[in-house]
Amino acid sequence: MVRYRRNFIPGGTFFFTLTLDDRRSSALVDHVASLRAAFRETRSERPFSIDAIVILPDHLHTILTLPPDDADFSNRLRRIKGRFTRSIVAAGVPVSSDHRGEYSLWQKRFWEHTIRDDRDFERCVDYIHYNPVKHRLVATPSEWPFSSLHRYIRTGILAPDWGGDGRADHRNFGERGD
């Protein structure tokens, strides 16, 4: 059995994928305001910066940077997942539970990748912003409303038509096999 070891680096920058247990669900976009509130509330308690994010119906990708003296991303992600789950349950959304009575909205774990350098960061940001096109949700990245791409465009980091000209080589960034 392979033992996976998380790479806890104080002040590190990390790429995460969080996935719902039911891959046919659209809970994340259906309740995006609750998800944003979960991020905001967690960030007010345990600071971090969101460098990039895309919220898709059944999963999200994000790049977070932690404070210089802090490497605890696991508890932040646990709090985000828990807050979102409690919020939608309180709103009356039916969420199944497992044999122990715990809600089974999210997959138990998350995927994490430590950002190694500027090129790695850029490749992961590109992957995040292009992901809605990859999943055939839109024809161009700028059409997807739940993406930090719009912030990157507003601040002039990326052009408004980024990834929409068919020239984005999405094979060379992000997760392998996703």
Question: pLDDT tens across 39-88, in order?
Answer: 999 999 999 999 999 999 999 999 999 999 999 999 999 999 999 999 99
User: What pLDDT is recorded for position 119?
Assistant: 98
The pLDDT assigned to 69 comes to: 95
User: Which CATH superfamily does the domain covering 13-172 fall into?
Assistant: Transposase IS200-like (3.30.70.1290)
What is the average pLDDT across 129-139?
97
Distance CA 39, CA 35 (A): 6
* Token code pair at residue 40: 């905001």
Tell whether pTM > 0.75.
yes
CA distance 15 to 20: 17
pLDDT at 3: 65
Distances (CA, A) of 100 to 50, 97, 103, 104: 33, 8, 9, 10
